[in-house]
Amino acid sequence: MADTSLNPYIRAQQSFKEAVDTLGLEPAVFDILKQPLRTFEVAVPFIRDDGTLQVFTGYRVQHNDALGPTKGGLRFHPDVTADEVKALAMWMTVKCALLGLPYGGGKGGIACDVDQLSDREIERLSREYIRAVSLVIGPDKDIPAPDVSTNPQIMAWMVDEYSRIRGENTFGLITGKPLVIGGSAGRVAATGRGLVFATRQLATALGLDFAQSRVAVQGFGNVGSVAAEIAASLGAKMVAVSDKDGGLYNPDGIDMADLLEYKRTHRALAGYPQADPISNHELLELPVDILFPAALENQITADNAHNIQARIVGEGANGPTTPEADAILFEKGVMVVPDVLGNAGGVTVSYFEWVQNQTRFYWSEQEINGRLEEYMARAMAEMHKMHERYGVTLRKAAYLVATERLAQAMRVRGWLT
């Protein structure tokens, strides 16, 4: 028999069950949350550049809309499955409820390999997908966004196709668009910036001065590099960073402006003269106050969790800490900002984008960043309060906050009677 513990859909169900039981909520709450309200599987036919027809399978899942229209990314990847998309939609429900966004969780995907498609083929595939799901999405129904192997250009093609179907510009259909057609200022840096805001809020609660902290960042992509740059601007000392090829360590601190310029010039971190080479594995175990794993999943495991010296682990990546490691860190007194909050800056600014699209009134980047900090700080405060009340990890506390909010919405709407 297959190991069901590895099925993300089953793990998401288990997390909701634990939250419902801990809060003492009606069993009906779990009965509703344990599965999506709607799951759509569609055939997506399109013409290849050589004139042949190919058909891919696409999905769109709307997990729960008690708090508002569903919201979530759309990924293009050969390993996309129905269970994966269901789990991702459930996690989006938690993320939106935790942040206090007026959304439920949604997610979509096409099982395809974009590396095997030309740009024109990707455009045709994107437009065909929107045609296939156009009746079940919309600014007040379900709002897609970029995810794995999708980007602002793909979102632009999709919103254009939907607008053609509707016969009017409907920019609020999708977030993560280019600025020129309704994208939001601050969206590109939102995830890394939100990670820093949430972590700084937790540091304050723990009596740790963020401005005096020593920080290591694993993963120097969009999330990690932004988090490193912003943390440094707030006074933190960046002592280590890494990318897929390895990292750099300088216990006296690394000048982020200088390093970013070096990377722009050399397109890599390797060879930077003001720090010593270090492996990704070694970086995780450095004597720092704050560790940002912002690269791949399953980086902190039962094998190395005992060696983590950071007081706070802020998850910029999805699932960088295994459940076994999570328990070890909790016993050690290491606080983990879970990914459901740590990388929620993206969906939060996506919400701001949607609001701007709906009102046709656009905010400055300064306004966006100020609102983002407010939302991240408030969510962290609520999550930390739940952590103290029930003596659970912040990850479990996130589910408690979200599930309680969802139950309240479903109760007043009459879904539980």
- Render pLDDT for 104-161 as a digit per residue (tens, 0 to 9): 999 999 999 999 999 999 999 999 999 999 999 999 999 999 998 999 999 999 999 9
pTM of the model: 0.93
pLDDT given for residue 319 in this prediction: 87
Task: Tell me: pLDDT of 84 over 70.
Answer: yes
Query: Of residues 86, 95, 107, 396, which has the active-site annotation?
Result: 107
Q: Mark whether 34 is an active-site residue.
A: no
pLDDT cut 90: percent of the chain above it: 93
Q: Strand locations in 294-363, DSSP E?
A: 312-314, 335-337
**What average pLDDT does the structure give for the chain?**
95
| Full set of structural domains in the chain with CATH | 35-171 (3.40.50.10860), 190-342 (3.40.50.720)
Question: What is the rounded average pLDDT of the residues 15-23?
Answer: 97
CA–CA separation, 33 and 28 (whole Å)? 9
In sequence order, what DSSP letters do the residues of 220-276 get, joined into one string? -SHHHHHHHHHHHHTT-EEEEEEETTEEEE-TT---HHHHHHHHHHHSSSTT-TTSE
pLDDT given for residue 49 in this prediction: 96
pLDDT level of residue 312 (50, 70, 90 thresholds):
very high
Question: What is the rounded average pLDDT of the residues 190-211?
Answer: 96
pLDDT given for residue 6 in this prediction: 58
CA–CA separation, 371 and 369 (whole Å)? 5
pLDDT level of residue 245 (50, 70, 90 thresholds):
confident
DSSP strand pairing (214-218 vs 142-143): unpaired
Locus of tokens 């990292």:
247
The token pair that represents 350 in the structure block: 């996506």
pLDDT given for residue 2 in this prediction: 45
Residue 290: name the closest of 345, 218, 194, 190 by CA.
218
Locus of tokens 């900002």:
337
Task: Tell me: pLDDT of 290 over 60.
Answer: yes
pLDDT level of residue 1 (50, 70, 90 thresholds):
very low
Residue 296: name the closest of 341, 228, 243, 227 by CA.
243
pLDDT given for residue 399 in this prediction: 97
Task: Tell me: pLDDT of 3 over 70.
Answer: no
